[in-house]
Structure 1
């Protein structure tokens, strides 16, 4: 397994490398201290499996750079590692292409659990951050328009993805069915989970059904 770690703190990178060896004893960790180094490594590394990206970086910050990194590596999962637990940062990360958000305050066990889920094709947001994010978005909906149907928080494309999720299709099959990159499907799944306040795909489908606006198969 090849993992790219983008963080400007050497001590943190060294500590995280030890954690990643618990994920895979044969892991090869590539290190970048800024976005430019990250872009070069992504461009020249063919067998990259995962990117771990800090937000607070010198020069271009991680959130700003996410879309360009996503374009360089459309099929590689990008997970944000950040000291921030602000809902707006979580939302921006997911909207810009991340498939996971791990606060640096979490334990090594929580991080390993999150990375295993992401590598299996799922999306990870810690329950406490997901709750904050859901409350924040609900508040925005109430402020903007109290009569706005919550289903409108999903785009037409995301509703199509949700429909196929309910049919049990994995991301790869959804991508083929909708003629889009698998990385794009993961972004849509992340947005769906966020809007529905769900921790996984099963919960998302169940919650959409409960709300009565699940698309008819």
Structure 2
């Protein structure tokens, strides 16, 4: 009887150990999730605050890097590559393999950027390299023809340098922060549009001075397709 109880106890201990190890492995292997805070809806919250500091190791490199005047991006080209303000940018080049995603291909260029001779431009750096299923949001451009003519408008694009509370005060952040927490990826380095390239990338705690705009996005109503007579 004691022998039987000993064997059963051993199996119980092994089973508990297995569940404990599996649960620990599962929890540590999970990606950081965007969990909205619902305690107080009046306070804007960054879902992943540590994203602000992800590229801080490159801050001093950016501050010492000479500006390539010939191959700078502009804010106009930055917005031209988007269907509307705030939309994920489209892919302006060919994608050879439709199943290529994230670290298989995209992140080889878009994680840290660099000059691409073929396009005579600097590769934009992604602010969210942990999201490797890039093709879920980014699609190739279809600029040769329209699907159906309609009355869709891109909406109002915030003017650069016109969103600070006082003359000389730090400008507010005019866009949402989810998936854009990594400030230096868009605001520093040679691929950053010249109009929004920060002059002090070494000050990596951006949210200490720059706060989100308090403008509330309103409902645009039901979309109505324009019917040509």
Higher RCO (C-alpha under 8 Å, 6+ residues apart):
2
- Higher fraction of strand: 1
- Higher fraction of helix: 1
Give the TM-score taking structure 1 as reference length.
0.25
Give the TM-score taking structure 2 as reference length.
0.24
Larger radius of gyration: 2
